Structure 1
């Protein structure tokens, strides 16, 4: 007697193979059989005409603290996600000492979920999330920003012994079960790190057989050089490399996606284990301070506010930004829209709409709220679709929990994948899109027993209607996702979140 039988669905096993009509039998937290005439079950759900797939694995999120808020969270479950990889872009909330927590609190912005940030070890962080009983499974990377700030503060140059301390903290975190290392080389303090620093840390991850995921130093004018740097780090250390949210930003760079992909494939042919993830949008989102040159934040938030209050310093920073330091050159002031700021009157407006001189406006807004966040309209749709179609690219939302009008990717990445990329543009077929959202990501992060539908796999399952999947309202809920199981427990039934907290911390 099975616990649950999903009967008559169009089963996608996650490998990219064509779907087959079959039943899926679940007992406890495992799939026990896929086929026909599988015998009786305590509960039978008719899924005729619906797609049955492994639960989606979101390869790139910033949901690190969502479970600790105590608030019901269904944004990911409602779009079929059962596993999230957190700790990306160099941002993790452990390991931190008291001083590092103070430095990073203001910079991390919405990523804190409104919670106070304090000192903790990585083992302590994982234990906290586990005790909070998350709604989705959590796979956690160690952020370079946490390592560097704990070992070195916000200074640009490394103090004697700081790199050794970073390597020791990383090893301690990997021992605790971290899935790997991440970096955000466009954000301070990661922007201060030389390639040699990242190579030393990546070598530690490689010794443990773990992954290195990087937000490149530049995704616009200097994208080729930034990608070459990441590949060189992987070549020197032997680490498995994940290029986060692969994209080409800035109007002058539109059309360069084939060059990005060619470099990835050339590295693969040279024996480097490199792949990437991407999301199906032409806009991104980030902290507003990332538009400034990294040197502006070297002294911490208080020093940053002082600098931005000095007209001469603002002009010095403008010159550095105009020469490509920070994200300023990739940003069109008319496409930089305030998402969250202490002044609610500017939220929803662009830099061009708020003030006559966009640079002065930027400086004033950051000085008033160093943790402010913005949406950046910076990519070309053809580039986005070209990148998503490449076999080296999996799906990662880059979703950031936000109390305000945040980027729709947190609630809509996977509906957008199936509704727009598959159904509207035909850039992917349905089995391939499922593969990119499941087995491709599970394999990349070493998640045994997940990402595939087959006997013995963990019963993380998503049932959806490919013809109805949509996310029409950026702040609303997606349509077309009917049932989601997390380890065999119904987390979504008939499109409604059940409140079950069956997620687990998946330690490496």
Structure 2
């Protein structure tokens, strides 16, 4: 009689293909699945999975765990939500390639764009590498989770062009040098290239990728495609719907010219366009022309928090406020309290447009001062109206009473129409993604979207079947993103598995923790209902607790 390292008995097997689930056994040996459906042999460990679902490990295609993997090889709390593979290096940013003299620039872009503090980098990111293959070698030691790593377009341009990366288009020689870097990265295991149409750096200047012309982008994609796989990922200029549509059109040109799949995130449901019909129509038009261009959709409301003691994307459009936000604590408190600056700050917020206009919709969350307790749960607009004051005055007074640590919450504004979001999640040209896990960590926690999909859209509302939801998080993205050996429960596949209770799975409230290097803070969300998470045949999470296993790979 044959034997296996691990056997799950009597599970509801949801195999990631989208096919109906079925009861049976799954056996694992030497990191691979050796039997599905029935297994007559024995296992060194056998788990009775009666009443629980067994699915392929979930895949998160949009994260920014690049720095965190240097001190946290598990990319916590991803695995607690059934995630076994993360894709890093999105939005044109990666930690390599990098010259020693370019490290400070890379760090500053991560700090401004992804809200990962310089003091965290200083404490825990060694920059002991220069090339992308060297970075992959560094993080692969003791890796706990699978990583598909994108190489960042802005990082490539900065490495090749230096300061000129943010001044002009690249010449033929520079494009050639960039293509060599891409080919080396792909040969070492990179998953693709990421770029950006929208991001700005610490000086409010466009990031290097935004200076690239179409010929450069196509050349990089052709270099990438020589490896036989590769994704071109971008964040569009989402503040302007017209520009976003132009970005989608250009992605179509890139896809057709280079024969690659392109991905943009996010596609959001907004009050003005709940079904994102303009973006969806643009994606459909490009597909009709032969391009492979997909959007990424998140299942949660795009809620975020603002603390004047941390970082806030809502204040980037207010130069006076942002200038103070860039100051270190505690000097920042003195600047916000300066009576000579108050009038200008209040007036600037009163005239806010774009994302900054959403500040008035923030409601007061966690507070420290007793004087602020009556405001909890009220929006700044409501408080300002009841007191006959400007919103800027209210923000300053409440925040200063808490030493700037007040939590202001933006809730149920973007992606809040759940029926419309369900339609986007189900759309064939939208991938399940856009979590931004590992980034914006003092404003929200992107990790947990997998659990939210199962809890809300499957368990609570039935807007997706369990099989459909699992397929969207596993087999579908694995196939389209070039993770060809992942995403399915099938004989011969690597054993990335998640065992969970479909009726008991739930995502916890966001918790603000001080557990990042450099005494930095972040939001986390706990996952419940997961009995076991297996990565490459080894149990990494059991009943909510991590084991000593660290079997992750670069995929």
TM range (shorter): 0.7 to 0.9
> What TM-score, normalized to structure 2?
0.75
Q: Which residue of 2 aligns with 1:125?
A: 135
> What TM-score, normalized to structure 1?
0.81
Deviations 1:457-502 (A, max 9, x none): 1011100111011113223521111111111111112332213211
- Offset at residue 102 of structure 1 (A): 1.1
Q: Which residue of 1 aligns with 2:234?
A: 214
Preserved contact between residue 29 and residue 489 of structure 1 (Cα < 8 Å): yes
Q: Which residue of 1 aligns with 2:507?
A: 471
Preserved contact between residue 482 and residue 493 of structure 1 (Cα < 8 Å): yes
Preserved contact between residue 195 and residue 233 of structure 1 (Cα < 8 Å): no
Q: Which residue of 1 aligns with 2:150?
A: 141
Q: Which residue of 2 aligns with 1:462?
A: 498
Q: 1:75 to 1:154 in 2, by over 3 A?
A: farther
- Offset at residue 198 of structure 1 (A): 3.0
Q: Which residue of 1 aligns with 2:183?
A: 171
Q: Which residue of 2 aligns with 1:192?
A: 210
Q: 1:357 to 1:457 in 2, by over 3 A?
A: same
Q: Which residue of 2 aligns with 1:342?
A: none
What's the Cα RMSD here? Answer: 4.1
What's the secondary structure of 2:84's corresponding residue? strand
Q: Which residue of 1 aligns with 2:444?
A: 407
Deviations 1:33-77 (A, max 9, x none): 112243222221100111001111111111112221157654111
Q: Which residue of 2 aligns with 1:245?
A: 266
Q: Which residue of 1 aligns with 2:536?
A: 487
Preserved contact between residue 142 and residue 173 of structure 1 (Cα < 8 Å): yes
List runs of 5+ in structure 1 lacking aligned partners: 340-344
Deviations 1:299-348 (A, max 9, x none): xx99xx9xxx999x999x99x995x7xx557x454249999xxxxx9xx9
Preserved contact between residue 135 and residue 502 of structure 1 (Cα < 8 Å): yes
Q: Distance in 1 between matches of 2:103 and 2:97?
A: 9
What's the secondary structure of 1:115's corresponding residue? helix
Q: Distance in 2 between matches of 1:71 and 1:178?
A: 18
Q: 1:378 aligns with which of 402, 411, 414?
A: 414
Q: 1:391 aligns with which of 428, 431, 440?
A: 428
Deviations 1:93-143 (A, max 9, x none): 111123432123223123469123646210111011012x12210110011
Q: Distance in 1 between matches of 2:437 and 2:414?
A: 18
Q: Distance in 2 between matches of 1:201 and 1:358?
A: 46
Q: Distance in 1 between matches of 2:304 and 2:24?
A: 41
Q: 1:2 to 1:274 in 2, by over 3 A?
A: same
Q: 2:18 aligns with which of 16, 19, 24?
A: 16
Deviations 1:414-469 (A, max 9, x none): 11010112222322111010001111111122123211001111011100111011
Pairing of 1:445-460 with structure 2 (within 5 A) = 445-460=481-496
Deviations 1:399-428 (A, max 9, x none): 433796542322x21110101122223221
Q: 1:310 to 1:443 in 2, by over 3 A?
A: farther
What's the secondary structure of 2:150's corresponding residue? strand
- Offset at residue 264 of structure 1 (A): 1.9
Q: Distance in 2 between matches of 1:167 and 1:260?
A: 30
| 1:496 lines up with 2:545 in the alignment | yes
Q: Which residue of 1 aligns with 2:474?
A: 438
Equivalent residue pairs, number:
479
Larger Rg: 2
Preserved contact between residue 219 and residue 226 of structure 1 (Cα < 8 Å): no
Q: 1:55 to 1:193 in 2, by over 3 A?
A: same
What's the secondary structure of 2:87's corresponding residue? strand
Pairing of 1:299-338 with structure 2 (within 5 A) = 328=356, 331=358, 333-335=360-362
Q: Name the stretch that deviates more: 28-37 or 104-113.
A: 104-113
- Offset at residue 220 of structure 1 (A): 5.1
What's the secondary structure of 1:283's corresponding residue? coil
| 1:420 lines up with 2:456 in the alignment | yes
Q: 1:349 to 1:199 in 2, by over 3 A?
A: farther
Preserved contact between residue 451 and residue 506 of structure 2 (Cα < 8 Å): yes
